[in-house]
Amino acid sequence: MNVAILYNPRPPRDAGDVEDAFEECDGPETVAAIGDALAAIGARAQPVPADRTFPAALERGGFDVVFNIAEGTGRRCREAVPAAICEFLGLPYTGSDPLTLAVTLDKWMARRIVSPEVDVAGAALLQGADDERALAALRYPVIVKPNDEGSSIGIRRESRCVDAAAAVERCRWLRQRYACPILVETFLPGMEVTAAVRGNGATATLVGLMEIAPADDRGKEFVYGLEAKRDFARQVRYHVPPRLASSQLDRIASLALTAYRLLGCRDIARIDFRLDAAGTPHFIECNPLPGLNPESSDIVILARAASADPALAYRGLVQGILRDAALRHGLGLPS
């Protein structure tokens, strides 16, 4: 089986770029790790950068399937474009389709799709008009973030705002740097939990749940933003399973599968929740293109901790994505 690993390489940052402009892009270590995992089941993997030339590269490459981790370029529809081009070329690919990739990157749209089946926190979408009135109507504290970014782009410790004045200032800061619509959500004081789901349709299953906690005693004020993710070994503690009662774990698992279904996810996704003061889980976002860095990505950390054989967990995760996609497309896998 010939596999194209379609990805956006991380370019050097120019002086005018914001600090996290290319946070979603993948480094060579991720592409190499995916290739090694696929080679272990006999697949021949070739990296294909998702630049302007990639449609031609896919068309002439003789590929049987595309392993899609490309984030695309642009704003709210960027993740959908590489998958849409694969469909245009008639090439099978891993992961969700263009519709799911578009609506999940737009956090406001994703919230509207999963609710009311899955609870969401109070929020407002700000696009520059009448911001102060919308902010005044929210319960504080809030978290202020770009509506259509991933990998904690635009999210810092200061994104948690205790009043409307601080939120107005944070919105101004985001607009100056990212020129984006802004999502402002009530910041819930409970635990942050991420769920990994894989598979398709009725056979979709939970890989596991992971609590994301601060290494220090910040507790309710902890923001899992850029600073924490880049320094996760010192600043973050991951608990698999989360330190919750079994009934709460079962509830989050059920909600994760519901959100996965409602959003139309395929093959793999990571779904984030935050608990309120009463312990009720609320949907935060869904990432159907979860990072696959072999050391630092949340879904990899979760899969390794949930596995009976952590040393083989990464290979199992990557190979599982390809196997689920191949089954969905009716493709045979290497023996």
Q: What is the pLDDT of residues 178-235, one digit of tens each?
A: 888 999 999 999 999 999 999 999 999 999 999 999 998 776 789 999 899 999 999 9
**DSSP H or E segment with residue 209:** strand 205-214
CATH of the domain at 60: 3.40.50.20
Judgement on whether residues 227 and 267 belong to the same structural domain of the protein: yes
pTM score of the predicted model: 0.94
258-283 average pLDDT score = 97
Judgement on whether residues 9 and 75 belong to the same structural domain of the protein: yes
Judgement on whether residues 198 and 282 belong to the same structural domain of the protein: yes
Chain segment 139-179, per-residue pLDDT in tens = 999 999 999 988 788 899 899 999 999 999 999 999 998 88
DSSP helix/strand/coil, 113: helix
Report if residue 297 sits inside a domain. no
Report if residue 258 sits inside a domain. yes
Report if residue 302 sits inside a domain. no
Query: Would you state the structure tokens that stand for residue 253, as one six-digit string?
Result: 């698992």
The count of structural domains within the chain is 3
Judgement on whether residues 89 and 150 belong to the same structural domain of the protein: no
Q: Write down which residue in 133, 164, 186 finishes a domain.
A: 186
129 pLDDT exceeds 70? no
CATH of the domain at 177: 3.30.1490.20
Report if residue 79 sits inside a domain. yes
Paired residues of 144 in beta bridges: 184
According to the model, what pLDDT value does residue 335 have? Answer: 60
Q: What is the DSSP letter of 200?
A: -
**b/e sequence 113-145, b meaning 16+ C-beta within 10 Å:** bbeeebebbebbbbeeeebeebbeebeebbbbb
Paired residues of 193 in beta bridges: 211, 273
Judgement on whether residues 88 and 21 belong to the same structural domain of the protein: yes
Q: Which domain holds residue 155?
A: 122-186
246 pLDDT exceeds 90? yes
Query: Would you state the structure tokens that stand for residue 173, as one six-digit string?
Result: 């800061």
CATH of the domain at 263: 3.30.470.20
Residue whose entry in the numeric block shows the structure tokens 């919105």: 171
Judgement on whether residues 208 and 234 belong to the same structural domain of the protein: yes
Secondary structure of 266-333 as H, E, C letters: CEEEEEEEEECCCCCEEEEEEECCCCCCCCCCHHHHHHHHHCCCHHHHHHHHHHHHHHHHHHHHCCCC
